A and B are shown apart, each in its own frame.
Chain A
Amino acid sequence: DAGVTQSPTHLIKTRGQQVTLRCSPKSGHDTVSWYQQALGQGPQFIFQYYEEEERQRGNFPDRFSGHQFPNYSSELNVNALLLGDSALYLCASSWTGSLAKNIQYFGAGTRLSVL
């Protein structure tokens, strides 16, 4: 049973560019959340997608956008990259129908470096 998979593993971009990160949820999960983890910090919630809609959003600017596809996979897009966007981007999935729906399972992340 595949867990949460993310691609790519590493990415190097320059300021002003745009980036797309991808996530496939754990089998049977229907909800995808994205987090940004800066060095030495805990993950910060960006947004969550359910039924192809953004269900909740954290305190991130509109440069951060996302999408969820009918197969529950998801993309995170970041426009006009800033140096401060350099971080580990984590995707997490969960199943809304579960009694343990608050448990989110994480992928290994995409390490984004903005130069």
Chain B
Amino acid sequence: EDKVVQSPLSLVVHEGDTVTLNCSYEVTNFRSLLWYKQEKKAPTFLFMLTSSGIEKKSGRLSSILDKKELFSILNITATQTGDSAIYLCAVVKGAGSYQLTFGKGTKLSVIP
């Protein structure tokens, strides 16, 4: 059975801290891994990673994939209160599969 596990499940940090969110996966025929940010309802797309070892970066957020060890990390530097959200990791399989398989998410709370 396909599995996506995120850790920690929740995290409280102060503004300015750097955080690392983890996502490990066990799926057959892996194709790509996606990160989403869910603030109220709609998950918003952050990154898609397909190749191992290549960092994707957008402002203070960055992510990298390790296909050998089957995990990805999402880093947020200089956190702001607006970063408070649930961060979801999802995996896409190849071979004609179209669904996203999500982890439970990491709830990040950034306090002033």
Footprint of B on A, CB under 8 Å?
3-4, 31, 33, 35, 40-45, 48, 50, 55-56, 58, 88, 90, 92, 100, 102-109, 111
Contact = CB atoms under 8 A, between A and B. Distances in A.
A41 B103 CA distance: 8
B32, B42, B45, B104: residue with the most chain A Cβ atoms closer than 10 Å: B42
Given A102-B32, A102-B34, A103-B34, A45 B101 contact: yes
B25 interface: no
Contact of B97 (A31, A56, A88, A103): A56
Given A56-B97, A102-B48, A107-B42, A44 B31 contact: no
Interface of B: 4, 31-32, 34, 36, 40-45, 48, 88, 90, 92, 97-105
A108 B48 CA distance: 21
A45 B42 contact: no
A90 B38 CA distance: 12
A45 B101 CA distance: 7
A92 B43 CA distance: 9
B41 A104 contact: no
B41 A33 contact: no
Nearest to B44: A106
Nearest to A56: B98
A43 B102 contact: yes
7 contacts: A31-B98, A42-B105, A48-B98, A58-B99, A88-B41, A102-B34, A103-B45
Contacts of A4: 42
B48 A103 contact: yes
Given A102-B48, A103-B48, A45 B100 contact: yes
Contacts of A50: 98
